[in-house]
């Protein structure tokens, strides 16, 4: 669900501007589906983006340029996304109206369903169901200042933001491409980034609940640093399994404590979901983001709730040249690139899968 776009088709690429790194993915679309052209990731200093707010646009712009240069991406048309407290989505039932009347109806209803002043947000919507005289509409609201902040950083890098989406919908885009027959049960797509955990519960090709909470990889890093009295940079490297002279066993108590906190945050999200969708039951969880591959996290979450938990495989349905992109590398970076791949599937003027 793009918040805005140019409305004309052109060569685009997915650009995921996260709080710990910039990730770019370029896909080619052909008769046989999508193929991977290139991808790259460039780390960001920790304080450049805080709680989803870009504090140093110049540093972000330079990281974007470096990322595109590393990937060899020549396109200037970026598909980006936002997340966090200034972005929200909600399913709103409204009386059935014509397509021509729908925009005005949504603007009126939004005042009663979003916690922001309507004049301060970009609104988008998509009809996700109808029953009798009622339409079920997914309404997206993002504060204008948030969108313009990210667009400004992209433009400073010499690019144009041709589509702005939500992280949660980007994750859904790639999941549905890779799991085309998986529409019978509710699936919780959980992306755990450095600063935010984004949950999108989907069923039958529609988002039925979404929530972002300020919890992510930084909590793990800080816990390791505090327990072992080491710099956060060293703790971050150790968390990802790099050989920096830190014993993994020494980190386990810190990791387990944060995983318990993470599980409680997810439980709160599931409780909100249960109150909003009384007759729905989540059948499985799919993890993505930088923390998804943290050793043992999937097993821990599965045992906590008795629900199958698996890692996102965003490259599964893509044609990948294994001579250029080794299978081991694709498996390793897949969950981290889920948002960027979902964005790479978008084109101006379309609607997500």
In a domain, 75, yes or no: yes
User: What span, in angstroms and rounded, lies between the C-alpha atoms of 286 and 305?
Assistant: 13
Per-chain mean pLDDT for the chain:
91
**Within a domain: 268:** yes
The SS3 call for residue 328 is helix
Express as a percent the part of the chain with pLDDT over 90.
Answer: 67
pLDDT of residue 334: 97
165: in domain: yes
Q: Is residue 43 part of a domain?
A: yes
Reference 237, options 248, 40, 340; nearest CA is 248
Specify the CATH number for the domain of residue 292: 3.30.420.40
Residue 119, helix vs strand vs coil: helix
Cα→Cα distances 21→16, 59, 122, Å: 8, 11, 26
In this prediction, residue 351 carries a pLDDT of 61
- pLDDT value for 8: 52
Note the pLDDT tens digit of each residue in 197-242.
Answer: 999 999 888 888 999 999 999 999 999 999 999 999 999 999 988 8
Residue 243 counted as domain residue: no
C-alpha dihedral, 237 to 238 to 241 to 243, nearest 10°: 90
Tell whether 350 is covered by a domain.
no
Tell me if 88 is assigned to some domain: yes
Q: In order along the chain (353 residues), what is the average pLDDT of each group of 10 residues?
A: 53 95 96 95 93 92 98 97 90 87 87 87 86 87 95 98 94 94 86 95 89 94 96 92 89 95 94 85 95 90 93 96 96 97 88 54
pTM of the predicted model over 0.85: yes
Q: Comparing C-alpha atoms, which of 211, 207, 195 is closest to residue 268?
A: 211
Strand order in the sheet with 33-43: 4-5, 160-166, 77-82, 13-17, 21-30, 33-43
The domain tally of the chain equals 1
**Token couple for 144:** 């204008």
Q: Provide the pLDDT for residue 338.
A: 98
For the segment 56-95, what is each residue's pLDDT rounded down to a tens digit? 999 999 999 999 999 999 999 999 999 988 998 888 888 9
């Amino acid at each position: 669900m793009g918040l805005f776009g140019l409305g004309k088709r052109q060569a685009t690429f997915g650009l995921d501007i996260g709080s710990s790194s910039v990730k770019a993915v370029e896909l080619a679309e052909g008769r046989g589906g999508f193929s991977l052209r290139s991808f790259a990731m460039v780390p960001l200093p920790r304080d450049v983006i805080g709680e989803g707010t870009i504090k140093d646009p110049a540093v972000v712009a330079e990281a974007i340029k470096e990322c595109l240069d590393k990937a060899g991406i020549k396109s200037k048309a970026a598909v980006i996304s936002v997340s966090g407290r200034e972005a929200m989505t909600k399913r709103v039932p409204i009386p059935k109206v014509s397509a021509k009347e729908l925009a005005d109806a949504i603007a009126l209803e939004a005042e009663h369903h979003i916690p922001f002043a309507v004049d301060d947000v970009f609104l988008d919507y998509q009809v996700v169901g109808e029953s009798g005289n009622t339409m079920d509409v997914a309404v997206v609201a993002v504060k204008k200042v948030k969108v313009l902040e990210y667009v400004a950083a992209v433009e400073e890098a010499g690019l144009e933001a041709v589509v702005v989406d939500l992280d949660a919908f980007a994750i859904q885009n790639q999941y549905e491409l890779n799991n085309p027959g998986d529409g019978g049960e509710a699936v919780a797509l959980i992306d755990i980034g450095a600063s935010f955990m984004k949950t999108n519960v989907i069923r039958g090709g529609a988002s039925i609940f979404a929530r972002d909470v300020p919890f992510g990889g930084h909590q793990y890093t800080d816990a390791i640093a505090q327990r072992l009295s080491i710099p956060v940079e060293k703790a971050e490297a150790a968390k990802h399994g790099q050989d920096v002279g830190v014993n993994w066993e020494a980190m386990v108590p810190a990791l387990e404590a944060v995983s318990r906190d993470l599980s409680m945050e997810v439980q709160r999200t599931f409780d909100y979901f249960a109150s909003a969708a009384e007759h729905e039951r989540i059948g499985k969880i799919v993890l993505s983001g930088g923390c998804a591959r943290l050793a043992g996290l999937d097993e821990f979450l599965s045992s906590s709730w008795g629900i199958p938990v698996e890692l996102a495989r965003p490259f599964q349905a893509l044609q990948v040249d294994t001579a250029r992109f080794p299978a081991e590398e694709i498996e390793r970076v897949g969950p981290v690139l889920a948002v960027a791949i979902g964005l790479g599937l978008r084109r101006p003027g379309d609607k997500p899968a």
